[in-house]
Amino acid sequence: MKRYAALFCYLSFLPINAQVQKAITDSGKEVVLFDDKTWRFVHESDSAALETILTNATLYNRDPKATRAVNSSNLNVAVYHDPKKWSAVPNRLQNTEYMFVGPNHIFSTLTADKSRIPNLRIVKDVVLSNVRQAVDYFRLKESEYRTINGKKLLYLRYIANLKGLDFEYAGYYFINDSGFAMVVAYTMQKDFDKNFAEIENFLNGFTEVKYQSPPPPMPPPQH
């Protein structure tokens, strides 16, 4: 699992300023207790969502307004986005190359790494394992294969609670012969649904780009 640790560098962006406690029920299940006296099971995802990856037949393409590209320096992928709505900031965390700031307190990260992962099923397993270890509460909502700009990707949507704060995430995960990449967007869980169209539109700007060899050197001048 350590070799895929870059899959979750983006968790460090989230604010943590509340407190939670954990407890074990009489039946042996772990629950998390919040400041407002409510409680939840730590991991309450539907078993079918955890075990199954559906296939979405819709063909997704980037928005024509997504005219600005941010290219990964680790892998031949890019994120096209609408520069009137989104701004990109280079990031210094290992493998997490860019952070994007969008409207209405939406954030996203682009992470790419040359680690080669055999298939997207393994990507899902690693993602879920790492998230559940890093957060206090986790619920997987969607898991499916999608075709984005002509490429097969894994789409995951889930809720994670960090120290009493609920965030919701949606992301695309991609692999090729050179490595893996992911673009993940998130905001406060209470604001996610009303911003979902913008989030999905942004994610659909993720694309594989063709590597272009540098041009040959210019011949010396003739005298």
Domains and CATH numbers, the chain: 2-9+45-208 (3.40.1000.10)
* Phi-psi region at 37: left, alpha or beta (left = phi > 0; alpha = psi -120 to 50): left
Phi-psi category of residue 220: left, alpha or beta, with phi > 0 → left and psi -120 to 50 → alpha: beta
Distance of CA 149 to the CA centre of its chain: 17
Q: Is the pLDDT higher at 73 or at 40? A: 73
Instruction: State percent of the chain over pLDDT 90.
Output: 57
109 membership: H or E segment, kind and range: strand 107-113
Give the percent of the chain with pLDDT over 70: 73
Is residue 26 pLDDT above 70, yes or no?
A: no
**DSSP state, residue 183:** E
Q: In Å, how far are 70, 114, 183 from 180, measured between CA atoms?
A: 16, 6, 11
Helices (H), the chain: 47-51, 120-134, 189-192, 196-203
- Cα–Cα distance between 186 and 184 in angstroms, integer? 7
pLDDT in tens, 57-105: 999 999 999 999 999 999 999 999 999 999 999 987 767 899 999 999 9
Strongest mean pLDDT among 56-60, 127-131, 216-220 = 56-60
What percentage of the chain's residues is helix, strand, coil (to nearest 5)? 20, 45, 35
- Give the tens place of pLDDT for each residue, 200-211: 999 999 999 986
Name the band, by pLDDT with cuts 50, 70 and 90, for residue 164: confident
Burial of 57 (C-beta count, 10 Å sphere; 0-12/13-18/19+): exposed
In this prediction, residue 214 carries a pLDDT of: 56
For residue 179, the model assigns a pLDDT of 94
pLDDT score for 120: 96
* pLDDT top residue among 48 and 200: 200
Residues 143 and 52 sit within 8 Å (Cβ to Cβ): yes
pLDDT at 1: 38
CA distance 213 to 125: 35
Q: Is the pLDDT of residue 8 over 60?
A: no
Residues with Cβ < 8 Å from 7, sequence gap 6 or more? 111, 123, 126, 127, 130, 180, 182
Pair of tokens at residue 66: 């997504």
pLDDT at 218: 67
